[in-house]
Structure 1
C-alpha cells in the first residue's frame, strides 16, 4: 500500500530528464582534469588509482565545466563511491582558502556514518591544510566546542572586565574548521547554543542519505540551516576582522534566494548543495524543502532502486521454526567469510545473537550491533569488525545506511525486509567499490511471492534458490536442540524488562 501511494506522487520536472551515470566510464586518476597534486597524492596513498562513474560525473559538474552552476541530486547504488564523489570536489574547491572559516557542512543521519565520512575527509583534506570537524555527539558539547571554535580566553587569558570580554567575544570567536561533518541533533545544539559557531560563510551543503534526513524530523535541522545562511536582503553585517580574507572587511548582504553580495560588486558564491542517496525520494513535498538551485538529477540507469552491479542474490526457503538452524548451516557453509546478518528489530538482533552464541561448536565469532547498545559499545564493535577480529555481525537496520566495512563478502537477511528500499540498503553492505558479494534472504514458502515482487522493483534479473545439503542440516539437529535449551535457560534467568 505504501509503495502504491509513492507511485501516485507526481515527479518534479527536473527529475524527468536525469543525467545517466551509466554513460560515464571509470577513469585513471591521472587523467582527471585540474586535480590538485597534493589531492592526487592523498588518493594514491589511500590505494585509489581510478575514479568511479559517479565521482567523475560529480567532478565535471562541480570543478569541471559545470562549475557548480546547478545544485546536484545524486541517485547512485550503495558502494558506488558517493562519499568521495562529494568530498573530492569540496576539498579541491576549498584548497585556495586563506584563513579557516566554516565553508562546507555535511549532514548525515547517524554517528557511525559521521565518523566514516570524517575519515574520508581527513585523508584528503589534511595534506592541503584544511581542517575537518565532527559534531556527532561522540563527546560532550563542551569538548566539541573546543574542537570547533576558538575561544578568546585561550588566546589572551581570562578577563574580568565585562566590556572587554564582550569585545573579545564579538571580535575574536571564530571557527577552527573549514569542513564540518555533523548529525542533525548535535548540529542543532551548536546552532542554538554555541557562541562563535556560525554558518554565515557556508558555501557548500551536502545532505547524505537524503531520503532519511527528510523523512525524519530531526529537530527541523534543515530549516534552521537554511535560515542561518539566508538572511534578509536588507540585513547587513560587518564581519569581524578574523574573517577579513572571507569578506575583505566590507558590508555584506545575504539574500533569501541564496545569493551573497561580496566585495568589489562581485557575486559571492551562493550556497551550493549536493544531495545523495541510493534510494532518493521523489516526493515533491520533501524535496522542495531543500530549496535546490536549478537542480541537475544524476541517476544510475532508468530504475529508481538499483542493486550493486556485482551482487548475487539468493533465497533460502525454510520453515520458520527452524530458521536459526538453517542460518547456522549457511554460516558454516560460508567458511568464515566476513558476514552481516540483518534482523527486523533491535530486540530480534539481541535475541538472535544470544541464540547463535549458544552453539558451542560453531567456531565462529559473532557480535551484536544494535540500538540497545551504548554508542561507545557499538563503535568499538564496528571497529573490531573492520579489523577482522570477528567474522559475523548481527545487526538491526542501524547498519544499513551508508556504512562501509571492507571485506564483507556476504549479507544475510534473517528477516525478509518489507520494502525494496530496505533490501537495497542492506544488500549494499557488500559488493562495494566494484567488488563481488552475495545477499541471502531466509524466508518461508508463504513469503516467496512477496519477495519476488520486491526483487522486481529492484530490477533483479534473477534470484535463484540457495540449497543447503540435507546432511549438514541433519548433522546440526542435536546441536540446535542443545543451543535452544541453553538459550531458554539464559532468557529465564535474565531480568524481565517492562516491555517484555
Structure 2
C-alpha cells in the first residue's frame, strides 16, 4: 500500500516523497481513511509508529479541501499534555503542510501569552495547545470555537495524570457538539475509555498492538542496586558500555539537577529538562541534545512523551516512574520507526512495588542482570506471583516475611504485582498504629487480636440489660451459668488495670503481624 492509494492530495504526496515516507505504517493505513471519511476515532499504537502523521495528514487534506478560517477562530484543535509535545506536533503539521496554504500556531504556558493572542487574530487552521494555556486564551476571549471542525486529543491519558481533567471539562463545554473527535495514544486506560464514551460519536477503534505493550525493537533489562549507589553505577555503565547519546529519566527535579552536576564534574556534557526550567531553556536543552552538543539529557517525565529524537540508542530509567504507563512512553523514546534501542532501569529495593506495577501493566517480567561490584545490600525482592506469599517457617511455625531493604532494616510486606505505593503504605501500618513505642502504654492481653466466638470482649458496643449502650471494650455479664465467675473476673481485671497495667498474654502481648 502507498500513501497515494489512501487518497491524499498531490501537495501532501510530494512532501512525503521529499521526507522519504515510502509506505504508511499499520496505524496510518487504518487511521487515514477513517479520518478522511469524517469518523470519530480511537487509535492506540506503540510509540514511534507514526501516530502523529496518522491524524495530521488526513486533517491537512480536509482543511485544504474544505473552506476558509474566520478571524479569532480555529478549524482544527490539537490538545497535548506537555510543552515539548506541543512543539513536536506543531512542527509535524508545519512539515507535512509546507506546500499548503494553511496557518499553524502553538500555544502553551511558561511563555508570554501576547504573541499567541496576536496569531489568533486572523484565525488559524491548526492550533496545537496545552489545556491550561488554551483555557487562558478562551477566558480572554482571544479564541472562538464556532468554526471548530476537528478536535484531537493526543496522549489524553497523560493529560488526566497531570490534573487537566477540570480544564478539559470546561473546554469541552465551550466547543460545538457537531465535530470530529480523534483520540490517539500509546496507552488507553479505563478512565480514558470512559471519557471517550461522552466525547465520541460511534467511533472507529484501532488497536495496532496489545494494550500497554512495549515495542519489540527495544531491548529491556534492569540492574538491582542500592539507591545511594545509582550515580556511581550510572557512570560505570557509561564507561563500560561506551554509551553515546543517553536520555536519562529521574523522578524529581532536584534529582535531575544533582545528576547533571555530577556528570559535568566528571567532564561529561549534560543538560536538563524539568518543570522548574523556563520553556526557552527546555527547548534549548532539547535542541543541544538533538544536535549532539550534549551527550546526556537528564529529564523528568515531562520528556517522556513528545521527544522524537532520531536514532536515539539508549534510555536509562535512573528512577522508575510512579505511573506505570509512563514506563511505556519513556522507553518509547528509543527504538522508533523500526530502529533498535536499549532501555535499562536501575532499581533499588524501595522501588519493588513500582517494578511490579510496570511488569503487570506490560505483561512481562523484565530481565535482571547483576553488575559485579554493585550488588544490592538491600536485595530487590522477586516480583513474580510467589513473591508476596508468606510461607511458614519449618522450625517455629511463624510466618516469614521477605526482607525488602526498608530503611532501618525493617521488614515489610512484599508487594503484590501491580499494587500501588499508597496501598503498600497502608498495608504496612495498621489503622491506629502508634509511631513511637514510648508514646503510650503497652497494649493489653488481647490488643490487636481478632474477635473469637469464645471471648467475652466485644468488638462493638452492645446493649445492656436495659437497652443502654455499653462502652467499647466493656465486659458484658449476663445471667446464666458462669455469670458469677465472669463477674469476679471482671472485677479482678478492673482492679488490675487501676493498679498500673495488665499482665501480658501468653502470646507476649504482640499485636497483629504486619
TM-score, structure 1 as length reference: 0.69
Residue 235 of structure 1 aligns with which residue? none
Partner of 1:198: helix, strand, or coil?
coil
Deviations along 1:385-410, whole A, 9 cap, x unmatched?
11111111111111112321222111
State the Cα distance separating 1:137 from its structure 2 match: 3.6
Match of 2:329 among 412, 425, 435: 425
Residue 233 of structure 2 aligns with which residue? 326
* Separation in 2, partners of 1:41, 1:431: 27
* Separation in 1, partners of 2:342, 2:300: 19
User: Is the 2:250–2:256 Cα contact (8 Å) retained in structure 1?
Assistant: yes
Residue 100 of structure 1 aligns with which residue? 69
* Separation in 1, partners of 2:229, 2:329: 26
The answer to whether structure 1 residue 126 and structure 2 residue 126 are counterparts is: no
For residues 9-24 of structure 1, what are the structure 2 equivalents within 5 Å? Answer: none
* Separation in 2, partners of 1:99, 1:453: 48
The answer to whether structure 1 residue 116 and structure 2 residue 88 are counterparts is: yes
The answer to whether structure 1 residue 78 and structure 2 residue 47 are counterparts is: yes
State the Cα distance separating 1:451 from its structure 2 match: 2.9
For residues 39-438 of structure 1, what are the structure 2 equivalents within 5 Å? Answer: 39-63=12-36, 67-69=37-39, 71-101=40-70, 102-137=74-109, 139-150=111-122, 175=123, 177-195=124-142, 197-218=143-164, 220-230=166-176, 258=177, 270-283=178-191, 286-288=194-196, 290-301=198-209, 303-360=210-267, 364-438=268-342
* Separation in 2, partners of 1:213, 1:419: 13
* Separation in 2, partners of 1:437, 1:83: 21
State the Cα distance separating 1:215 from its structure 2 match: 4.2
Deviations along 1:209-255, whole A, 9 cap, x unmatched?
1112234443833333333333xxxxxxxxxxxxxxxxxxxxxxxxx
Which of structures 1 and 2 has the larger relative contact order (alpha carbons within 8 angstroms, sep 6+)?
A: 1
User: Is the 2:106–2:127 Cα contact (8 Å) retained in structure 1?
Assistant: yes
Specify which structure has the higher proportion of helix.
1
* Separation in 2, partners of 1:336, 1:217: 36
Runs of 4+ in structure 1 off by over 6 angstroms are none
* Separation in 2, partners of 1:420, 1:368: 23
State the Cα distance separating 1:146 from its structure 2 match: 1.5
Q: Considering only aligned residues, what root-mean-square deviation do their CA atoms show, in Å? A: 2.4
* Separation in 2, partners of 1:320, 1:334: 21
* Separation in 1, partners of 2:109, 2:56: 22
Gaps of 5+ in 1: 1-26, 151-174, 231-257, 259-269, 472-500
Deviations along 1:474-500, whole A, 9 cap, x unmatched?
xxxxxxxxxxxxxxxxxxxxxxxxxxx
Residue 463 of structure 1 aligns with which residue? 366
The structure with the largest alpha-carbon Rg is: 2
State the Cα distance separating 1:126 from its structure 2 match: 3.0
Residue 247 of structure 1 aligns with which residue? none
The structure-2 alpha-carbon separation of the partners of 1:60 and 1:194, relative to structure 1 and needing over 3 Å to count, comes to same
State the Cα distance separating 1:468 from its structure 2 match: 4.7
Deviations along 1:165-195, whole A, 9 cap, x unmatched?
xxxxxxxxxx1x1111111122112212134
State the Cα distance separating 1:286 from its structure 2 match: 4.9
* Separation in 1, partners of 2:41, 2:197: 15
* Separation in 1, partners of 2:137, 2:341: 40
The structure-2 alpha-carbon separation of the partners of 1:407 and 1:288, relative to structure 1 and needing over 3 Å to count, comes to closer
The structure-2 alpha-carbon separation of the partners of 1:220 and 1:320, relative to structure 1 and needing over 3 Å to count, comes to closer
* Separation in 1, partners of 2:303, 2:350: 27
The structure-2 alpha-carbon separation of the partners of 1:122 and 1:359, relative to structure 1 and needing over 3 Å to count, comes to same
The structure-2 alpha-carbon separation of the partners of 1:204 and 1:284, relative to structure 1 and needing over 3 Å to count, comes to closer
State the Cα distance separating 1:38 from its structure 2 match: 0.8
Deviations along 1:91-150, whole A, 9 cap, x unmatched?
011111343342110011111111111000001223111111212246422221221213
User: Is the 1:184–1:219 Cα contact (8 Å) retained in structure 2?
Assistant: no
Partner of 1:433: helix, strand, or coil?
helix
Gaps of 5+ in 2: 375-514
Instruction: Give the count of matched residue pairs.
Output: 371
State the Cα distance separating 1:450 from its structure 2 match: 6.1
Partner of 2:315: helix, strand, or coil?
strand
User: Is the 2:8–2:58 Cα contact (8 Å) retained in structure 1?
Assistant: no
Q: Which moved more, 1:447-456 or 1:112-121?
A: 447-456
User: Is the 2:35–2:55 Cα contact (8 Å) retained in structure 1?
Assistant: no
* Separation in 2, partners of 1:82, 1:430: 16
* Separation in 1, partners of 2:169, 2:366: 43
Partner of 1:74: helix, strand, or coil?
strand
User: Is the 1:42–1:127 Cα contact (8 Å) retained in structure 2?
Assistant: yes
Partner of 1:276: helix, strand, or coil?
strand
* Separation in 2, partners of 1:388, 1:453: 34
